[in-house]
Structure 1
Amino acid sequence: MGAKTTTDFNTFRRAAGRLVDVRSPGEYQQGHWPGAINIPLFSDEQRAEVGTTYKQQGRHQAVELGLELVGPALASLARALKEAAADDPALRIYCWRGGMRSNSMAWLATQVDLKPQVLEGGYKTYRRWVLEQCSRPWPVKLLGGRTGSGKTDLLLALANRNVAVVDLEGLAHHRGSSFGGLGLPDQPTTEHYENRLVEALEQHRHAGAQEIWMEAESAQVGRCRIPRDLFQQMQAAEVLEIQRSTEERVAQLVAVYGHQGGQQLADATQRISRRLGPQRTQRALEAIASQDWATACRAMLDYYDRCYDHELEQAEERRSIDLTGLDPEQSADQLLRDQLISPLPEPLDGIHL
């Protein structure tokens, strides 16, 4: 297959070139290196067939079957690699273990004048690195506040002012409550959430961040789970609590959820009916049926406020600031002006929350 192209993880990570994941679509969907595109050597069905052959008949027969399956697709795979490379012949290719799939694709890439590198140990090595990063110490600080305080909008405004921010909800495609998934794309798997989260943290570490701001969350953001070691650091982190009037919080919730449609809101309300209690549930459902979004939100705020206040009591270090009357941009300016939050030492280009 030509000259050796296998590269250790640190060199591979620093190298130039488009990231290409050559595993099957199902493997890629389960989790991949963020930014990688998928050019699968085998379909999900073909991968299963080769795996079954390997277990039942041995390696030699599995390799022969693999060659039979890939042969007719060589030309289209080569074109896909060329398109991925665009104007830069460098490619960074990985499979699960850095074995035959990635090395075969690397060989094919060299036949069309590309310059591939293969990740030694494959995606398995990348995942090991991700989990190691989750357990390292991070300068985490939390932005807290009751439901409807506009914490996410404020974090985004801070990010635009060169503050190191990781949007836990944005990465999870979920706002963190029973209603959190309404109007958002499908959630990633927890595995891929971990990958995205660590890449965001690593970007800020590389930029020299002395503090990294996140929203105070529970361990679960929809179906995505925050890594245990990182969540333990969050539990011990300083909390800056944002306070706003009930009227502003209701207005914020109506702006976010009021256009989602009554049936979706009613279904989400039913999911937490046991925790809301029968009277509050009925009041919320009647308000939703009449499209009185503000009344529906007020009916549920008491429950969410009690949950939040209970969690906030666990914070070892807490400060508060009332930002009633200020929009997210004004609020961000206020926090920076009061030196409650510090920006990065240098501007961060191409920030990915």
Structure 2
Amino acid sequence: MIKNITIRDFFKLAIVLADVRTPAEFAHGHIPGAFNLPLFSNEERVLVGTTYKQIGREQAILLGFDLTGPKWSGFIKDALLMAPDKKIAVHCWRGGMRSGAMAWALDLYGFEVYLIEGGYKRYRRWVLDQFEQSYQLVILGGMTGSGKTRILQQLQNLDQQMIDLEELAQHQGSSFGTMNKMVQPTQEQFENNLAYKLKDLDISSKIWLEDESHNIGKLSIPNPLWKQMTQAILIDLIVDLNQRVANLVKEYGQLDKEFLISCTERIHKRLGPVQTKNAIAAIKENRMEEFIRFVLVYYDKTYRTSLSKRQTDHVLLLDIARLDPAANASQILNFSNTIPPTPVQ
């Protein structure tokens, strides 16, 4: 049986989702949790599309059958591996011939098939709609090395709603943000993953986010959400400089020296020639605390500049003296409960 459903209907179901677009389309952006069951290879899709434009629809369909003919048993076997209960949802780009053909074959074999109306294109519309909603955001700020990410994780342990933008972006926000190991998703996939997180949150309750620049590495926070972040209450954590340096030495001090040098050179115009030279020398000589202090001159200045652009009555200072992220999270949560909500209009 084939049943047409909306993307919102699918979210209510606990079933496997097959994306029958090409591997290239899937890699560029897909619904989180979907697996790729491509009807055509990247090259085959180009060939079918060219045939459609130059000769016509019927010839393109015949070519499609020629190309997929030997592959149908493989499609069904792959689907059985992912959905042994024989319940599966299917989509392509617009809910057209590719997903229709796959749904027909799986139905013929005995699957219970759910065909997503409008396909991935409709899902992308849903994604962008999530960023237009109004959220009760609370932004956790503080200079580099304040331990904001660890505190956010502890807030989540206290049953607070939290989205870790840096985790979704696979980047920690600075020139050194890939940590020499993280690979960022595409902009489209970042948006897909972010919207997928937002959909499960109670928009009438607080949602904690870390203070970020508009760009996290090569990715951008979607404009409507970014605007709300800049207008939300920001709790500015005041953390002792020596503690921040110690945190950063622990986090970055063991990274590959050539990676650190390369990242430092990328910000040489903002650091200045003397500061850059001193920072690189400190890296080479394993004077990691000094290296951190050199680059913090730039990052602290950048943070203060960013903070100055916010409404002053939306920036609330909070001294953090403890070294324990869990204790800090409790202190911050108690403090936040005294702040009246500020919905974005």
- TM range, smaller chain: over 0.9
For 2:106 and 2:15, how far apart are their aligned partners in 1? 13
Q: 1:264 to 1:171 in 2, by over 3 A?
A: same
For 2:303 and 2:334, how far apart are their aligned partners in 1? 27
Q: 1:73 corresponds to which residue?
A: 71
Residue identity in the other structure for 1:248: Q
**Which of 39, 42, 49 lines up with 1:41 in the alignment?**
39
Q: 1:228 corresponds to which residue?
A: 223
Deviations along 1:157-201, one digit per CA (max 9) or x if unpaired, are 111221100101110000001110123431011111111111111
Q: CA deviation at 1:341?
A: 8.3
For 1:129 and 1:284, how far apart are their aligned partners in 2? 46
**Which of 97, 100, 104 lines up with 1:103 in the alignment?**
100
Deviations along 1:304-335, one digit per CA (max 9) or x if unpaired, are 00110111112220112121332212211222
Q: 2:119 corresponds to which residue?
A: 122
For 1:271 and 1:90, how far apart are their aligned partners in 2? 50
| Superposition map of 1:204-243 within 5 A | 204-205=201-202, 210-243=205-238
Is the Cα contact below 8 Å between 1:254 and 1:297 reproduced in 2? yes
Q: 1:176 corresponds to which residue?
A: 173
For 1:108 and 1:57, how far apart are their aligned partners in 2? 26
**Which of 38, 54, 57 lines up with 1:56 in the alignment?**
54
Pair 1:279 & 2:277 matched: no
Q: CA deviation at 1:338?
A: 4.0
SS at 1:47's partner residue?
helix
Is the Cα contact below 8 Å between 1:148 and 1:252 reproduced in 2? yes
Residue identity in the other structure for 1:61: Q
* Residue segments in structure 1 that go unaligned for 5+ positions in a row: 343-353
SS at 2:158's partner residue?
coil
Residue identity in the other structure for 2:45: R
Deviations along 1:2-45, one digit per CA (max 9) or x if unpaired, are x5532233323323311111111111111111111111111111
Q: Greater CA deviation, 27-36 or 315-324?
A: 315-324
Q: Greater CA deviation, 296-305 or 323-332?
A: 323-332
Q: 2:304 corresponds to which residue?
A: 309
Pair 1:298 & 2:298 matched: no
| Superposition map of 1:82-97 within 5 A | 82-86=80-84, 88-97=85-94
Output the aligned Cα RMSD.
Answer: 1.6
| Superposition map of 1:180-191 within 5 A | 180-191=177-188
For 2:100 and 2:62, how far apart are their aligned partners in 1? 16
* Residue segments in structure 2 that go unaligned for 5+ positions in a row: 340-345
Q: 1:349 corresponds to which residue?
A: none
Pair 1:333 & 2:330 matched: yes
For 1:222 and 1:273, how far apart are their aligned partners in 2? 17
Q: 2:16 corresponds to which residue?
A: 18
For 2:251 and 2:61, how far apart are their aligned partners in 1? 53
Q: 1:255 to 1:128 in 2, by over 3 A?
A: same
Q: CA deviation at 1:75?
A: 1.1
Q: CA deviation at 1:209?
A: 5.0
Q: CA deviation at 1:282?
A: 0.5
Q: CA deviation at 1:264?
A: 0.3
For 1:55 and 1:185, how far apart are their aligned partners in 2? 41
For 1:28 and 1:160, how far apart are their aligned partners in 2? 33
Residue identity in the other structure for 1:254: V
Between the two proteins, what is the percent identity of the paired residues? 41
Pair 1:8 & 2:24 matched: no
Q: CA deviation at 1:216?
A: 0.9
SS at 1:149's partner residue?
coil
For 1:254 and 1:176, how far apart are their aligned partners in 2? 17
Aligned residues: 337
Q: 2:343 corresponds to which residue?
A: none
Pair 1:198 & 2:195 matched: yes
Q: 2:342 corresponds to which residue?
A: none
For 2:35 and 2:310, how far apart are their aligned partners in 1? 41
For 1:47 and 1:285, how far apart are their aligned partners in 2? 49
Q: 2:264 corresponds to which residue?
A: 269
Q: 1:256 corresponds to which residue?
A: 251
For 2:190 and 2:96, how far apart are their aligned partners in 1? 25
Residue identity in the other structure for 1:36: A
